[in-house]
Structure 1
């Protein structure tokens, strides 16, 4: 189980890096859905959680919500506004990949300096969670399309969820379910906002919103 959890964590950080270099909105949504499925499986591979009923229910909730429900909402949004690619990001894709690789290195350095239990120092959970948070933030600030900014937010939240798994052996049940609900509501609202942006400006680029004046 330990080896499986390490493989899942390595795959999760790879997916985050892949997102930074992808311009296809449909591809990005599918990748973040795959990352959500990995997050759903992860609690079952951690020894302290195992197949505890709470872990099973949390895993099922994460798998369904992040792997299927939220991606479908986002796919519907881009289908309605007929936008397929992020053509002119604020930070280019090659440079984004370079920054992402640097952030992964920084996350390992930070993980070594954090006051965590000795057992977690040999685990990828802390560095992967930090890297995922930072790459999600990078995606939010470096992209123009509202959809890709939502995807960046989802990656950011995935990193926070991973960090929560790292520091808490006992699942804070209500808090975790609250996070899932908050994410769903946030993406649902963003879907509505994206549609309104598209109707008003014939585009989902948030850059045009900065040109508004009183």
Structure 2
């Protein structure tokens, strides 16, 4: 009981980080927030599952990748293109926060109506997963900078990972490792895209790509 309560507290922290990312105009704050979210999610499997060396390997890999390596790559890209703030999002910060607040509340309502297994009822995994996925989608679609869209991709993957924690007992460890590998590959691809956009157009504002002609 104590462990599940602690897991719920960590999931509340994850959802609060969602609001911080969408409400901040500073890129550095958003990157640090996603790094903290990744570390929190890396700790969660140790709370809800029994000890094994495979589990420890996955946890260490997640914390190193999401908490250190990927934020380091994002800070490097941000410094290279000299970005300090997110400029002119498609939707204002207040409007975005209102949207994510409403969708988070609806996620709790939707989760309460799902026919969950007995051991999963009353936990925050499903609403936290849905709220985080929506936050990632909003970050992807309402921010202009390519780095912000990488952050949105990370949050989206975090939401999928939260839901996957409910299915870990039915999933082999290699599937979890494969999901982590997909994340790293996606980040590398986005890093290449950011680099090419910056080199060719001296900006990473993706809205300007609509003006390209053959």
Report SS of the residue matched to 1:169: helix
Q: How does 1:1-214 map to 2 (within 5 A)?
A: 1-46=3-48, 49-214=49-214
- Whether the aligned pair in 2 keeps the contact of 1:133 and 1:158 (CA below 8 Å) is yes
Larger deviation: 28-37 or 182-191?
Answer: 182-191
Query: What CA deviation, in whole Å up to 9, does each residue of 1:93-114 have, x standing for no partner?
Result: 0111111101111111111222
Separation in 2 of the partners of 1:98 and 1:55? 37
The TM-score with structure 2 as length reference comes to 0.95
How many residues were matched structurally? 212
- Whether the aligned pair in 1 keeps the contact of 2:91 and 2:142 (CA below 8 Å) is yes
Separation in 2 of the partners of 1:14 and 1:44? 21
Please give the root-mean-square deviation of Cα atoms over the aligned residues, in Å: 1.1
C-alpha deviation, 1:57, in angstroms: 1.5
Larger deviation: 49-58 or 102-111?
Answer: 49-58
- Whether the aligned pair in 1 keeps the contact of 2:107 and 2:131 (CA below 8 Å) is yes
Separation in 2 of the partners of 1:106 and 1:50? 32
C-alpha deviation, 1:171, in angstroms: 4.3
- Whether the aligned pair in 2 keeps the contact of 1:54 and 1:171 (CA below 8 Å) is no
Separation in 1 of the partners of 2:85 and 2:50? 40
Query: What CA deviation, in whole Å up to 9, does each residue of 1:22-61 have, x standing for no partner?
Result: 1111111111000000011000111xx1322222111111
Separation in 2 of the partners of 1:172 and 1:116? 21
Separation in 1 of the partners of 2:172 and 2:107? 25
Larger deviation: 83-92 or 105-114?
Answer: 105-114
Separation in 2 of the partners of 1:14 and 1:172? 30
C-alpha deviation, 1:17, in angstroms: 1.4
C-alpha deviation, 1:158, in angstroms: 0.3
Query: What CA deviation, in whole Å up to 9, does each residue of 1:66-113 have, x standing for no partner?
Result: 001111111111111111111200010011111110111111111122
- Whether the aligned pair in 1 keeps the contact of 2:87 and 2:144 (CA below 8 Å) is no
